[in-house]
C-alpha cells in the first residue's frame, strides 16, 4: 500500500514525516520506503499492515493541524486509465448558474439554493428547475458574456487533464450544469467527452426550462460506468473528482473517488479529499512528478 501526502506549502519536512510514520506504526503498519515527489510538497510512503481506511484515518488525524491532503491506495492500480470530473467548483472556480442569475439580479437567491443542493439538502432536479426558472427571458448572448468574463479555471485543471490524456487516459467532463459551458470548458482543458444539461431557448432567450433528461447524481454514476465499459476500463482504474452531493454516487463507484474542496457529506463519502491543494494533487496521488506534467498555458 502507499500513502501520498501533498501540500501546497513546503511543510513536509522531517518533523511532519516523523509524525506520519508514528501514526502509521501506531496503527500497526510496517514502513517500507519513502519517495520524494516534490521536496517538502509531496511524498510517497510505502507501507503494509492496516487497512486503507484505517491508515487514512490515522494519517488524517496526524496531519489535522497541517495543510496536508492525504491519499491512501493500493499500489498496483495507482495510475488511472479514466478521469471523470465535475465542472462547476471543480474544473472551474464558479457555479455558472449563480453567475447567470447575477445578470437578472437574483444571484443571492439562486446561490442560496445552489449551496443547499450541493450540500445534499434539496432534491437536485427540483432545485435545478427552480433556479433555471428564475433565468427566464435572459438573452442567450449573455451565456457567452458570462463564459468570457466570469469563468475561471481551477489551478491545476489543465495540467491534470492533459497529463493524463497524454498517457492514454480517457477523460470525461460531466456536469449537472449546462452544455453551453461544458463544451467550452472541455475544449479548453482537453477533455475527450462532455455531458451536461441543455437550456431551452426560444426567440434567442432562455425559456426558464431545462431539456429532459436531467444529469442527476445517478446519471453521473451511469456515465462513468458507460464510459468505462465502452473503453474496456475496469472501474478500479477510474478516477472521479467532484465537490457536490450529486457527485457522491460517481465518487463511490470509481476506483479512486476524490472530493475537491467539498461539502461535508461529499467528503465523508469519498476515498480522499483535497482540502488544501489544487488539482495537481491528483497527479501526485498517481505518482506523477512535475517533470511528467503537461505544461499549462
The whole-chain average pLDDT of the chain stands at: 96
Q: Which residue has the higher pLDDT, 296 or 158?
A: 158
Whole-prediction pTM: 0.95
Please confirm whether the linkage preceding 130 is cis (ω < 30° from 0): no
| Band of residue 297 on the pLDDT scale cut at 50, 70, 90 | low
CA distances from 147 to 137, 150, 197, 292 (A): 18, 6, 16, 30
| Band of residue 77 on the pLDDT scale cut at 50, 70, 90 | confident
Do 170 and 230 touch, CB atoms closer than 8 A? no
Q: Could you give all domains of the chain from N- to C-terminal order, each with its CATH number?
A: 1-76 (3.30.70.260), 80-93+153-297 (3.40.50.1000)
Q: How far apart are CA 150 and CA 152, in angstroms?
A: 6
pLDDT tens digits, one per residue of 79-109: 999 999 999 999 999 999 999 999 999 999 9
Mean pLDDT of 43-59: 94
In the predicted model, is pLDDT for residue 126 greater than 60?
yes
| Band of residue 296 on the pLDDT scale cut at 50, 70, 90 | low
Do 83 and 172 touch, CB atoms closer than 8 A? yes
In the predicted model, is pLDDT for residue 269 greater than 70?
yes
In percent, the amount of the chain with pLDDT more than 70 equals 99
What lies within 8 Å, CB to CB, of 29 at 6+ separation is 47, 48, 49, 50, 55
Q: How many CB atoms lie under 10 A from the CB of residue 18? A: 11
SS3 of the chain: CEEEEECCCCCCCHHHHHHHHHHHHHCCCEEEEEEEEECCCEEEEEEECCCHHHHHHHHHHHCCCCCCEEEEECCCCCCCCEEEECCECCCECCCHHHHHHHCCCCHHHHHHHHHHHHHCCCCHHHHHHHHHHCCCCCECHHHHHHHHHHCCECCCHHHHHHHHHHCCCEEEEEEEEEHHHHHHHHHHHCCCEEEEECEEEECCEEEEEECCCCCCHHHHHHHHHHHHHHCCCCHHHEEEEECCHHHHHHHHHCCEEEEECCCHHHHHHCCEEECCCCCCHHHHHCCCCHHHCCCCC
| Band of residue 295 on the pLDDT scale cut at 50, 70, 90 | confident
Q: Closest Cα to residue 176, out of 221, 233, 234?
A: 221
Choosing from 69, 86, 247, 271, which is the catalytic residue? Answer: 86
Do 69 and 41 touch, CB atoms closer than 8 A? no
pLDDT tens digits, one per residue of 189-215: 999 999 999 999 999 999 999 999 999
Look at residue 76 and give its three-state secondary structure. coil
Which run of H or E residues covers position 60? helix 52-62
Annotated catalytic residue 98: no
Q: How many CB atoms lie under 10 A from the CB of residue 243? A: 23
Annotated catalytic residue 278: no
Choosing from 69, 88, 237, 247, which is the catalytic residue? Answer: 88
Chain-centroid distance of CA 150 in Å reads 20
Amino acid at each position: 500500500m502507499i500513502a501520498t501526502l501533498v501540500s501546497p506549502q513546503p511543510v513536509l519536512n522531517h518533523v511532519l514525516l516523523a509524525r506520519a510514520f508514528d501514526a502509521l506504526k501506531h496503527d500497526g503498519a510496517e514502513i517500507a520506503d519513502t519517495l520524494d515527489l516534490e521536496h517538502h510538497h509531496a511524498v510517497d510512503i510505502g507501507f503494509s499492515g492496516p487497512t486503507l481506511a484505517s491508515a487514512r484515518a490515522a494519517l488524517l488525524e496526524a496531519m489535522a493541524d497541517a495543510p496536508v491532503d492525504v491519499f491512501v491506495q493500493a499500489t498496483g492500480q495507482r495510475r488511472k486509465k479514466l478521469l471523470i470530473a465535475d465542472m462547476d467548483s471543480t474544473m472551474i472556480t464558479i457555479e455558472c448558474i449563480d453567475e447567470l442569475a447575477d445578470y437578472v439580479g437574483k444571484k443571492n437567491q439562486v446561490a442560496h439554493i445552489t449551496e443547499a443542493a450541493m450540500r445534499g439538502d434539496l432534491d437536485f432536479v427540483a432545485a435545478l428547475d427552480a433556479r433555471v426558472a428564475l433565468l427566464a427571458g435572459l438573452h442567450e448572448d449573455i451565456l457567452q458574456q458570462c463564459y468570457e468574463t466570469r469563468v475561471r479555471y481551477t489551478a491545476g485543471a489543465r495540467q491534470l487533464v492533459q497529463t493524463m490524456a497524454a498517457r492514454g487516459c480517457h477523460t470525461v467532463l460531466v456536469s449537472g450544469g449546462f452544455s453551453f459551458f461544458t463544451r467550452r470548458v472541455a475544449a479548453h482543458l482537453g477533455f475527450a467527452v462532455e455531458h451536461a444539461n441543455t437550456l431551452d431557448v426560444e426567440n434567442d432567450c432562455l425559456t426558464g426550462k431545462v431539456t429532459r433528461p436531467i444529469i442527476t447524481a445517478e446519471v453521473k454514476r451511469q456515465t462513468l460506468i458507460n464510459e468505462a465499459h465502452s473503453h474496456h476500463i475496469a472501474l478500479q482504474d477510474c478516477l472521479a473528482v467532484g465537490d457536490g452531493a450529486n457527485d457522491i454516487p460517481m465518487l463511490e463507484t470509481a476506483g479512486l473517488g476524490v472530493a475537491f474542496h467539498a461539502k461535508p457529506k461529499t467528503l465523508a463519502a469519498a476515498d480522499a479529499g483535497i482540502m488544501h491543494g489544487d488539482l495537481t494533487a491528483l497527479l501526485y496521488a498517481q505518482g506523477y512528478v512535475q517533470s511528467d506534467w503537461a505544461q499549462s498555458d
